[in-house]
C-alpha cells in the first residue's frame, strides 16, 4: 500500500475547556514554548487516551511544531502510547532485580493467559500488556505497574487476585 | 589566521574554521558522514577522530575549531583503528545492497571501506530489519535499512528548508528516519537530502536505476530554471545524455543547495526534446546547407535594400555572448533594424523570491545580462504586441526566431505563429523539437541546449557567472555564435545572383 | 477510545521498611519515619528550612556559600561522583543569560531506588537544597525533572512545592533577601538516557533525550544555551545539613575523598532489601551482615554489583575486602556510582544476568551515535546466542573487542555503561561463559537461577 492509501483519516481532536486551561498554565512555567512539549503530551494522552495521529496533529498545531518533531518525541519515550491500551495496562518490569525475582515468568503467564503481546488489547478491551525497564522499585521486586500504579512484591497469587479485581472493574489497592 | 599543526606539519588556516574543512582544504582527508559545512554540528557518526597529544581520549574533529596552537594527528595507528571500528559499527546492520543501490560508486561507506575497512566482518547475528523502498512522494525513495542515521537530512529540513518534515523515530538500533507515517514530502528542496545522504538511503526517483555513477562525467555550469542562477554540476555520460544536475557550492548565490524545480531542467537537453537535424518544411538537411538556404533569402533582401522587412525575435535565456553575436551579425553586419523580445524589463521588475530561499519568480535565467548587453549595445527592442501588429500588416517578409528550450517561452512563440503570414520566410533557431514542430513549414536550425553552452549569464543580483560545458550532444546542433559566424562567412562568399524562391 | 480504569496513582510510597538498622548513620534519613515528614509543618518542626534562613536572611555571599560546599567535598550522588561545589563554581558569574538549576530525579539506573525515598518522604529537604543551590548559582528558575513513572512521588513533590510557595520559601523576595525563585516539577516520559546530564537538558527543551556534545559544557551552555547545573536529588538533599552543621563537620564524616554519608538501595539476594544510609568507608562485610541482614536463605555471596548496573561486577572476595567509598571500590575495578547495590548469591547464572543487562542497555540506547546504537544491539545479540547455546569460542574475544571499541568513543557514557560491565564479567567470571560453550549439563531458568540436574 502506498503511504496515501494506508493513511486512515481520523477525526480531529480538541482540548476540553479544563484541559485547555491546564495547557495554558503549563506554557507559563517554561521559558521556551517547546519545553512544555512533554507535559502537554502527558495532558493530551490523559485527555484522549493515547497519542493517535489526530492527537499528534493537534499537539503539533497548538505547539507550533511540525508533526515530525512531535512524533519524534512520542516515539522516543515509552510512556506515550501510539496504539490504544486496554482499560488495565499491565506493565511488567523486566530488569535485573525484578527479573531475578521472577517477573519474566509472571509476564509470560499473563501473555499466555490472555493471548496478547505488547501492543495488543484483549477483545473485551479490559487488558493489555507491556514490557518495561527498571521502574525504580528493585527493593520490592518483583513488581509491575498497572495504569501507572505500582504493585510491589508480587507473587503469582497476588497477581491473580489483582487480575480478578481489575476484571470486575474495581482494582485492588496496592 | 591561526597556526595549527596537523600530523607534525605546520599550517596557517583561518581562525575559527572547522577542523574538518581546514584539513580538507589542505588535502588531508578526515573521514566523516554526519558533518556538513552547511548544517549544524551533530557529532553522531564518530568517524572524524583525531588524536591530540596529551589527551588519551580521541576527539572528534567536527567539533573543533582552528585556533592558535591546535595540534592534532589524523593518521596515527590509534586513530586508524578507531575509524576502522567505527566503520565496522556502521556496517553491522547495513544491508549489502551495493549491486542494486544507486549510491554505489559515490557511497561514503564504500569509499572508506576501501581505505580502513576491517575486510573480514565478525558479525554473525541477524541484522536489523526495517522498511525498504518507502515511497516518499514524486521525488524520493527512502530505504530505512541502508540509513546510517547520520541525521543530515533531518537537520536539512529543520535548518535550511525549514519544513521539518523528516525526523528520527524510536530509540537505539530500532531508530528510523522518515516522515510521519511515511507521508509524502511536500518540501520543494527535498532532493537536496538525496545529495547530502552519504549512502543510498535517500535516492532520487528521477535518477533511480538510470545509470551507474562511474560512467558519468561532471562539468560545472549554472542552472537555467530561474533568475537565481544556482551553481550546478552537469552529470553526463560521454556527452550523449545528461542524467542529473547537482548543486555546487557558491557562498554568494546558492550556498550548497538548489531547489527541486531546477533539477529537471536538464531534460530539455536530452534526445526526446531535441531538434536533432535542420529541417526545411519538414524535410531534413545538413546544417551548413540550412545556413546557405537562410543566407540565400537574406542576401536578396539585403541586396535590394529591403532590410526593413527583416525582423528578429530574441529572449532573455540567451547568454550575453549570444546576444552580442546576434547584434553584431544581424544588425551591424547585415543592417537588420527590427528586434523584438520578451519583456525583460517587466520580468526584472516583477522578480522576487518565491519561497524565502532560492527560487525566484522570474523564470528567465539571464534577464539582468540581457538588459545590460542590450543597453550597452544600444539595441532598440520592440514588444511582442508590436511584432504581431507588423506581422498582421504583412510588413515582415523574413523573420528570425531564436527559440528558448523552456516552457516559459512557448506562449510567445504560439502567438507569433498565429500572426505569421504564410509567405513570410521564417528561420527558427532553437534546440527544442516542439518549437520546430510549431513552425513546421519554416527553416529550423538546431542550436545547442543551455547545458552545452559556454557563455556568461547574470543572475538577479547582477552576479556574472560562467556556463561551462565540455560536450556536444549532436553534431548537427551548433551554438548560436557558430551559426551566425557561418552565416557571415556564407555572406562573404562570392555568389551568383539567385532569385528568391 | 478506551477509558482507563481509575487506578490509585497517588496512594502510597514504596512499600519498604525504613526502620533504622544498626550500622546506619542517618544524616538525611534521620527523620524519615516521622509521620507526615513530607509536609511542611512537620519538616519545619524537625529543623527544616533553617539552612535556607541562614543563607538568605544573612544575605550570605555567594562565593562563601560555594566555598562552603566545596569545603565539604560532597560529591555528586547520582553516579558520576563529581565534586558538587566545583560544579557550582563553573557557572560564569557575570552573564546576562538566565541561569538554571535542574534536579535530576530521573532515577532509572537498574538497582537504584534511593532517590524515591527522598522524593516520597523528604521532598522539602530536596527543595531546600535546591533553593540554596539556585541562590548560589544565581538561578531564577529550577526544575525537578522527575521520571514519569514515579506518579506518587510527583504528586508529593508538587504538593511540597505549593506548600513552600505559601510559606514564602519560593516566589518573589524570599525571606526578604531580594532573591526571586520559581520551581516547577517537570515529568519525564520514560527514558533512561534522560538521567544523563545533557540528555536531561535535551528532554527539558522538549526534544528527544539526546545527549549533547561537550564542549560546550552545561555550566556554560546548557538548557536553552544558558548556564545550567544539573544535580542529583540526594546531592541536593545533603546541602541543608552541610549549611546547618558546617563543611568541616561534614568533611569529618566518611573518608577524606568520600566525605559524608551515602544512601544505598540494596536489592537482590539479601534478607532485607531496602534503602540504608551509612557513613562512607564502612566495610562492605559489616554493611551486608549488620545492615542488610546477611544473605537470603543463608546462601553464599557470588558477586556484587555495587553502584547500579553500570558498575563493573565485583567478585565475592573483592566485595568482602572493600569498604563502601569511592576509592576502595574503584581500586577493585568497579565504581560506587549511584549506590544501587545488587547482591548475587551462588545460585545466580551470571551470563543470564549480563544478558538481561544487555537487553536493558539496548532498549535504552538513544541511538544518536553509531558505536553505542549498533554496539549495544550487537552485544545483546551475541549474549543471546550464548544463552541459546549457539555461541562459538570466538565470540568471547568478540565480546571483548567490541566492548573495548565502544569505550570512550561516544557522546555520553551509556556505551561505557554496558561495555565496562561486559569486560568485567569476562575477566572475573570466565568460567560462567565456558559453561555455555561446552554444552554443560547445567540449565538455567528464566530468573537466572541455575538448576542443577540431579
Domain boundary among C252, C282, C299: C252
pLDDT class for C442, splitting at 50, 70, 90?
Answer: very low
In chain C, which residues have their Cβ closer than 8 Å to the Cβ of B175?
367, 373
How far does the CA of residue A130 sit from the closest CA of chain B (Å)? 16
Q: Is A170 helix (H, G, I), strand (E, B) or coil?
A: coil
A19, A151, C252 from A46: Cα distances, Å: 10, 21, 50
What DSSP designation does B431 have?
Answer: S
Please report the residues numbered 351 through 380 in chain B whose beta carbons come closer than 8 angstroms to any beta carbon of chain C: none
- Burial letters for B227-259: b for 16+ Cβ neighbours within 10 Å, e otherwise? bbbbbbbbbbbeeebbbbbbbbebeebbbbbbb
A136: left (phi over 0), alpha (psi -120 to 50) or beta: left
Query: Total structural domains in chain C?
Result: 3
CA distance B162 to chain A (A): 10
Residues of C in contact with B18 (CB under 8 A): none
Nearest to A71 among B135, B157, B180 (CB): B180
Instruction: Please report, rounded to a whole number, the percentage of residues in chain B having pLDDT higher than 70.
Output: 99
pLDDT band at C129 (very low <50, low <70, confident <90, very high): very high
Every domain of chain A with CATH number 1.10.10 lies at 10-76
| CATH no. for B271-492 | 3.40.50.740
b or e along B383-411 (b: 16 or more beta carbons within 10 Å of the residue's beta carbon)? Answer: ebeebbebbeeeebbbbbbbbbbbebbee
Q: Are residues C270 and C237 in the same domain?
A: no
Query: Does the beta-carbon distance from C107 to A136 stay under 8 Å?
Result: yes
Q: Are residues C299 and C240 in the same domain?
A: no
Please give the CATH topology (third level) of the domain spanning A88-167.
Answer: Glutaredoxin (3.40.30)
Per-position pLDDT tens, chain A of length 174: 344 444 556 788 999 999 999 999 999 999 999 999 999 999 999 999 999 999 999 999 999 999 999 999 999 999 999 999 999 999 999 999 999 999 999 999 999 999 999 989 999 999 999 999 999 999 998 999 998 889 999 999 999 999 999 998 888 888
Phi-psi region of C91 (alpha: psi -120 to 50; beta: other; left: phi over 0): beta
Element (H, E) at B401: strand B398-402
pLDDT average, residue stretch C439-451:
50
C:181-200 residues touching chain A, CB 8 A cutoff: 182, 184, 186-192
Please provide the CATH number assigned to the domain covering A10-76: 1.10.10
Q: What is the pLDDT of residue B73?
A: 96
CA–CA distance, B458 with B377 (Å, rounded to integer): 16
Q: Does an H or E element contain B310, and which? A: strand B310-314
What's the residue count for chain A?
174
Residue B115's pLDDT band, with cuts at 50, 70 and 90, is confident
Instruction: Over range B228-249, report the average pLDDT.
Output: 96
Angle (CA) B184-B186-B188 rounded to 5° is: 135
C21 part of a folded domain: no
A 22-81: CB under 8 A from B: 53, 56, 65-69, 71-72, 75-76
Does residue C297 or residue C4 have the better pLDDT? C297
On the question of a cis peptide bond just before residue C216, with omega within 30 degrees of 0, the verdict is yes
Provide the mean pLDDT of chain B. 94
Residues recorded for chain B: 501
Q: Which residues of C231-254 are buried (b: 16+ CB within 10 A; e: fewer)?
A: bbbbbbbbbbbbbeeebeebbebb
Residues C239/C128, Cβ–Cβ less than 8 Å: yes
Residue C195: count of CB within 10 angstroms of its CB: 27
Residues of chain C contacting A141 with CB distance shorter than 8 Å: 267, 273
Domain that residue C331 falls in = 261-345
With CA atoms as reference, report the closest residue to C189 among C230, C229, C228, C150.
Answer: C150
Higher pLDDT among residues B319 and C393, named by residue? B319
Length of chain C: 454
Residues C327 and C432 in one domain: no
pLDDT at C440 over 90: no
Dihedral (CA of C292, C294, C298, C304) sign: positive
How does pLDDT run across C162-211, given as a tens digit for each residue? Answer: 999 999 999 999 999 999 999 999 999 999 999 999 999 999 999 999 99
CA distance C104 to C124: 15
Sign of the Cα torsion C170, C173, C175, C181 reads positive
How far is C426 from chain B, CA to nearest CA, in Å? 19
- The secondary structure of B80-142 as a DSSP string is HHHHHHHHHHHHTT----GGG-TTTTS-HHHHHHHHH--SS----SPPP----SEE-SSSEEE
Q: Which pTM does this prediction carry? A: 0.93
Q: Are residue C168 and residue C281 in the same domain, yes or no?
A: no
CB-closest option in B49, B125, B171 to C366: B171
What span, in angstroms and rounded, lies between the C-alpha atoms of C454 and C449? 15
DSSP state of B261: G
- The DSSP-derived string for A59-91 is HHHHTT--HHHHHHHHHHSTTS-SS---SEEEE
Q: Which fold has domain B2-91?
A: Ubiquitin-like (UB roll) (3.10.20)
Residue among B245, B300, B297 nearest B267 (CA): B245
Q: How confident is the model at residue C453 (pLDDT cuts 50, 70, 90)?
A: very low
Question: In which region does residue B156 sit, left (phi positive, over 0), alpha (psi from -120 to 50) or beta (all else)?
Answer: alpha
pLDDT at position C14 is 87
**Domain closes at, from C231, C252, C273:** C252
**Spatial distance between the Cα atoms of B145 and B166, rounded to a whole number of angstroms:** 16
Q: In this structure, how many other beta carbons lie within 10 angstroms of the beta carbon of residue C454?
A: 3
DSSP letter string, B438-474: HTTTSEEEEB--GGG--EEEE-TT--EEEE-----S-
Q: Which residues contact B11 (CB under 8 A, 6 or more apart)?
A: B3, B4, B5, B22, B26
Residue B302 has pLDDT above 80, yes or no: yes
The 10s digit of each residue's pLDDT in C154-173 is 999 999 999 999 999 999 99
- Contact check, Cβ <8 Å, A3/B168: no
Q: How far apart are CA B315 and CA A45, in angstroms?
A: 60
Q: Is residue C11 part of a domain?
A: no
Considering only alpha carbons, which residue of chain A is nearest residue C363?
A133
Query: Reduced to 3 DSSP states, what percent helix, strand and coil does chain B have, rounded to the nearest 5?
Result: 35, 20, 45
CB atoms near residue A95 (< 10 Å): 27
Same CATH fold assignment for domains B122-213 and B271-492? no
- Partner-chain contact B171 C394, CB within 8 Å: no
- Complex ipTM > 0.90: yes
| Crossing angle for the helix pair C62-72 and C233-245, to the nearest 10 degrees | 100
Q: How crowded is residue C300: how many other Cβ atoms within 10 Å of its Cβ? A: 10
Task: Tell me the pLDDT tens digit for each residue of B310-356.
Answer: 999 999 999 999 999 999 999 999 999 999 999 999 999 999 999 99
Residues C356, A99: Cα–Cα separation, whole Å: 8
Residue C14 located in a structural domain: no
Map chain C to HEC letters: CCCCCCCCCCCCCCCCCCCCCCCCCCCCHHHCCCCCCCCHHHHHHCCCCHHHHHHHHCCCCHHHHHHHHHHHCCECCCCCCCEHHHHHHHCCCCCCCCEEEEEEECCCCCCCCHHHHHHHHCHHHHHHHHHHHHHHHCEEEEEEEECCCCHHHHHHHHHHHHHHHHCCCCECCHHHCCCCEEEEEEECCCCHHHHCHHHHHHHHCCCCCCCCCCCCCCCCCCHHHCCEEEEEHHHHHHHHHHHHHCHHHHHHCECCCCECEEEEEEEECECCCEEEEEECCCEHHHHHHHHCCCEHHHCCEEEEECCCCCCCCEEHHHHHCCECCHHHHHHCCCCCCCCEEEEEECCECHHHHHHHHHHHHHHHCCCCCHHHHHHHHHHHHHHHHHHCCCCCCHHHHHHHHHHHCCCCCCCCCHHHHHHHHHHHHHHHCHHHHHHHHCCCCCEECCCCEEECCC
| Domains of chain B by residue range | 2-91, 122-213, 271-492
Residue at a domain's end among C296, C326, C345:
C345
Answer yes or no: are the C-beta atoms of B400 and B427 closer than 8 Å. Answer: yes
Residue C266 and residue C156 in one domain: no
Distance CA A155, CA A144 (A): 11
In this structure, the answer to whether residues C100 and C244 fall within a common structural domain is yes
Interface check for C149 against chain A (CB to CB < 8 A): the answer is yes
- Residue C167 and residue C217 in one domain: yes
CATH architecture of B122-213: 2-Layer Sandwich (3.30)
**Is B33 in a helix, a strand, or coil?**
coil
C198 touches chain B (CB under 8 A): no
Q: How far apart are CA A84 and CA A48, in angstroms?
A: 10
* Chain C residues with beta carbon closer than 8 angstroms to that of B44: 368-370, 411
- End-to-end Cα distance, chain A: 46
Amino acid at each position: 500500500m502506498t503511504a496515501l492509501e494506508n493513511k486512515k483519516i481520523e477525526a480531529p481532536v480538541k482540548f476540553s475547556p479544563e484541559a485547555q486551561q491546564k495547557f495554558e498554565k503549563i506554557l507559563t512555567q517554561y521559558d521556551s514554548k517547546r519545553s512544555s512539549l512533554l507535559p502537554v503530551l502527558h495532558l493530551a494522552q490523559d485527555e484522549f487516551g493515547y497519542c493517535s495521529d489526530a492527537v499528534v496533529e493537534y499537539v503539533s498545531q497548538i505547539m507550533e511544531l511540525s508533526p515530525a518533531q512531535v512524533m519524534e518525541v512520542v516515539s522516543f519515550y515509552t510512556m506515550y502510547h501510539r496504539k490504544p491500551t486496554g482499560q488495565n495496562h499491565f506493565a511488567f518490569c523486566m530488569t535485573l532485580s525484578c527479573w531475578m525475582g521472577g517477573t519474566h515468568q509472571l509476564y509470560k503467564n499473563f501473555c499466555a493467559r490472555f493471548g496478547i503481546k505488547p501492543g495488543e488489547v484483549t477483545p473485551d478491551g479490559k487488558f493489555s500488556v507491556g514490557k518495561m525497564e527498571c521502574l525504580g522499585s528493585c527493593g520490592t521486586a518483583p513488581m509491575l505497574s498497572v495504569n501507572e500504579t505500582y504493585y510491589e512484591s508480587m507473587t503469582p497469587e497476588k497477581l491473580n487476585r489483582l487480575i480478578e479485581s481489575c476484571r470486575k472493574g474495581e482494582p485492588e489497592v496496592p | 589566521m591561526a597556526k595549527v599543526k596537523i600530523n607534525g606539519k605546520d599550517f596557517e588556516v583561518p581562525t575559527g574554521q572547522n577542523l574538518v574543512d581546514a584539513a580538507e582544504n589542505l588535502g588531508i582527508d578526515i573521514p566523516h558522514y554526519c558533518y556538513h559545512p552547511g548544517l549544524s554540528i551533530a557529532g553522531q557518526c564518530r568517524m572524524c577522530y583525531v588524536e591530540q597529544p596529551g589527551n588519551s581520549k580521541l576527539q572528534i574533529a567536527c567539533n573543533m575549531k582552528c585556533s592558535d596552537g591546535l595540534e592534532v594527528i589524523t593518521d596515527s595507528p590509534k586513530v586508524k583503528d578507531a575509524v576502522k571500528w567505527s566503520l565496522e559499527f556502521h556496517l553491522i546492520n547495513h544491508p549489502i545492497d551495493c549491486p542494486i543501490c544507486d549510491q554505489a560508486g559515490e557511497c561514503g561507506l564504500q569509499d572508506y571501506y576501501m581505505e580502513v575497512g576491517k575486510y573480514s566482518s565478525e558479525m554473525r547475528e541477524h541484522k536489523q530489519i526495517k522498511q525498504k523502498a518507502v515511497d516518499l512522494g514524486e521525488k524520493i525513495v527512502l530505504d530505512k535499512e541502508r540509513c546510517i542515521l547520520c541525521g543530515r537530512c533531518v537537520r536539512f529540513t529543520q535548518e535550511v528548508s525549514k519544513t521539518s518534515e523528516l525526523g528520527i523515530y524510536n530509540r537505539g538500533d530500532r531508530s528510523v528516519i522518515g516522515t510521519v507515517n511515511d507521508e509524502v514530502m511536500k518540501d520543494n528542496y527535498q532532493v537536496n537530502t538525496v545529495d547530502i545522504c552519504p549512502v543510498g538511503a535517500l535516492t532520487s526517483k528521477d535518477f533511480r536505476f538510470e545509470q551507474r555513477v562511474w560512467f558519468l562525467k561532471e562539468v560545472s555550469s549554472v542552472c537555467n530554471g530561474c533568475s537565481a542562477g544556482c551553481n550546478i554540476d552537469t552529470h553526463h555520460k560521454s556527452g550523449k545524455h545528461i542524467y542529473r544536475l547537482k548543486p555546487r557550492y557558491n557562498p554568494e548565490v546558492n550556498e550548497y543547495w538548489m531547489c527541486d524545480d531546477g533539477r529537471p531542467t536538464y531534460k530539455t537537453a536530452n534526445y526526446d526534446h531535441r531538434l536533432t537535424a535542420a529541417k526545411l518544411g519538414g524535410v531534413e538537411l545538413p546544417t551548413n546547407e540550412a545556413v546557405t538556404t537562410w543566407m540565400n533569402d537574406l542576401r536578396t533582401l539585403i541586396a535590394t535594400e529591403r532590410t526593413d522587412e527583416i525582423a528578429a525575435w530574441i529572449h532573455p535565456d540567451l547568454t550575453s555572448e549570444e546576444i552580442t553575436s546576434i547584434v553584431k551579425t544581424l544588425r551591424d553586419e547585415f543592417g537588420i533594424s527590427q528586434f523584438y523580445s520578451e519583456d525583460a524589463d517587466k520580468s526584472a521588475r516583477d522578480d522576487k523570491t518565491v519561497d524565502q530561499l532560492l527560487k525566484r519568480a522570474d523564470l528567465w535565467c539571464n534577464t539582468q545580462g540581457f538588459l545590460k548587453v542590450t543597453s550597452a549595445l544600444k539595441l532598440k527592442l520592440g514588444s511582442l504586441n508590436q511584432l504581431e501588429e507588423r506581422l498582421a500588416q504583412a510588413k515582415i517578409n523574413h523573420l528570425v526566431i531564436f527559440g528558448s528550450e523552456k516552457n516559459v517561452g512557448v506562449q510567445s512563440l504560439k502567438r507569433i505563429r498565429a500572426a505569421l503570414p504564410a509567405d513570410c520566410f521564417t528561420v527558427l533557431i532553437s534546440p527544442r523539437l516542439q518549437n520546430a514542430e510549431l513552425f513546421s513549414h519554416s527553416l529550423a536550425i538546431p542550436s545547442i541546449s543551455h547545458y552545452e553552452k559556454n557563455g556568461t549569464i547574470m543572475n538577479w543580483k547582477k552576479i556574472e557567472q560562467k556556463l561551462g560545458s565540455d560536450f556536444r550532444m549532436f553534431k548537427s546542433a551548433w551554438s548560436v555564435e557558430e551559426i551566425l559566424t557561418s552565416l557571415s562567412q556564407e555572406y562573404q562568399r562570392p555568389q551568383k545572383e539567385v532569385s528568391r524562391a | 477510545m478506551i477509558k482507563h480504569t481509575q487506578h490509585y496513582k497517588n496512594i502510597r510510597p514504596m512499600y519498604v521498611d525504613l526502620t533504622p538498622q544498626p550500622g546506619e548513620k542517618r544524616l538525611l534519613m534521620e527523620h524519615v519515619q516521622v509521620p507526615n515528614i513530607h509536609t511542611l509543618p512537620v519538616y519545619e518542626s524537625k529543623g527544616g528550612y533553617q539552612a535556607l534562613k541562614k543563607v538568605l536572611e544573612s544575605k550570605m555571599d555567594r562565593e562563601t556559600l560555594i566555598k562552603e560546599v566545596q569545603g565539604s567535598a560532597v560529591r555528586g550522588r547520582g553516579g558520576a561522583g563529581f565534586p558538587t561545589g566545583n560544579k557550582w563554581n563553573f557557572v560564569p558569574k557575570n552573564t546576562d543569560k538566565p541561569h538554571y538549576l535542574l534536579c535530576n530525579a530521573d532515577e532509572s539506573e537498574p538497582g537504584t531506588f534511593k532517590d524515591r525515598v527522598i522524593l516520597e518522604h523528604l521532598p522539602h529537604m530536596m527543595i531546600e537544597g535546591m533553593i540554596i543551590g539556585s541562590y548560589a548559582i544565581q538561578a531564577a528558575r529550577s526544575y525537578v525533572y522527575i521520571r514519569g513513572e514515579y506518579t506518587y512521588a510527583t504528586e508529593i513533590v508538587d504538593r511540597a512545592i505549593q506548600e513552600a510557595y505559601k510559606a514564602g520559601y519560593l516566589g518573589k523576595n524570599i525571606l526578604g533577601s531580594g532573591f526571586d525563585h520559581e520551581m516547577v516539577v517537570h515529568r519525564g516520559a520514560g527514558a533512561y538516557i534522560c538521567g544523563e546530564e545533557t540528555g536531561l537538558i535535551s528532554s527539558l527543551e522538549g526534544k528527544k533525550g539526546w545527549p549533547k556534545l561537550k564542549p560546550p559544557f552545561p555550566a556554560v551552555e546548557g538548557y536553552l544555551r544558558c548556564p545550567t547545573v544539573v544535580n542529583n536529588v540526594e546531592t541536593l538533599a545533603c546541602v541543608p545539613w552541610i549549611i546547618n552543621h558546617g563543611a568541616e563537620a561534614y568533611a569529618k564524616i566518611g573518608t577524606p575523598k568520600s566525605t559524608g554519608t551515602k544512601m544505598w538501595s540494596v536489592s537482590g539476594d539479601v534478607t532485607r532489601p531496602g534503602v540504608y544510609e551509612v557513613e562512607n568507608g564502612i566495610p562492605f562485610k559489616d554493611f551486608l551482615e549488620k545492615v542488610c541482614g546477611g544473605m537470603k536463605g543463608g546462601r553464599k555471596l557470588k558477586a556484587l554489583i555495587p553502584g547500579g548496573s553500570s558498575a563493573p561486577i565485583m567478585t565475592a572476595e573483592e566485595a568482602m575486602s572493600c569498604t563502601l567509598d569511592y576509592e576502595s571500590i574503584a581500586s577493585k575495578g568497579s565504581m560506587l556510582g549511584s549506590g544501587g547495590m545488587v547482591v548475587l548469591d551462588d545460585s545466580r547464572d551470571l551470563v543470564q544476568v549480563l544478558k538481561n543487562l544487555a537487553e536493558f542497555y539496548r532498549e535504552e540506547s538513544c541511538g544518536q551515535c553509531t558505536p553505542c546504537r549498533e554496539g549495544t544491539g550487537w552485544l545483546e545479540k551475541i549474549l543471546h546466542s550464548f544463552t541459546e547455546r549457539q555461541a562459538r569460542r570466538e565470540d568471547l574475544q568478540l565480546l571483548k573487542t567490541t566492548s573495548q571499541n565502544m569505550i570512550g568513543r561516544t557522546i555520553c557514557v551509556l556505551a561505557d555503561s554496558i561495555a565496562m560491565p561486559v569486560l568485567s564479567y569476562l575477566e572475573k567470571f570466565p568460567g560462567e561463559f565456558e559453561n555455555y560453550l561446552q554444552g554443560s549439563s547445567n540449565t538455567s531458568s528464566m530468573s537466572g537461577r541455575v538448576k542443577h540436574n540431579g
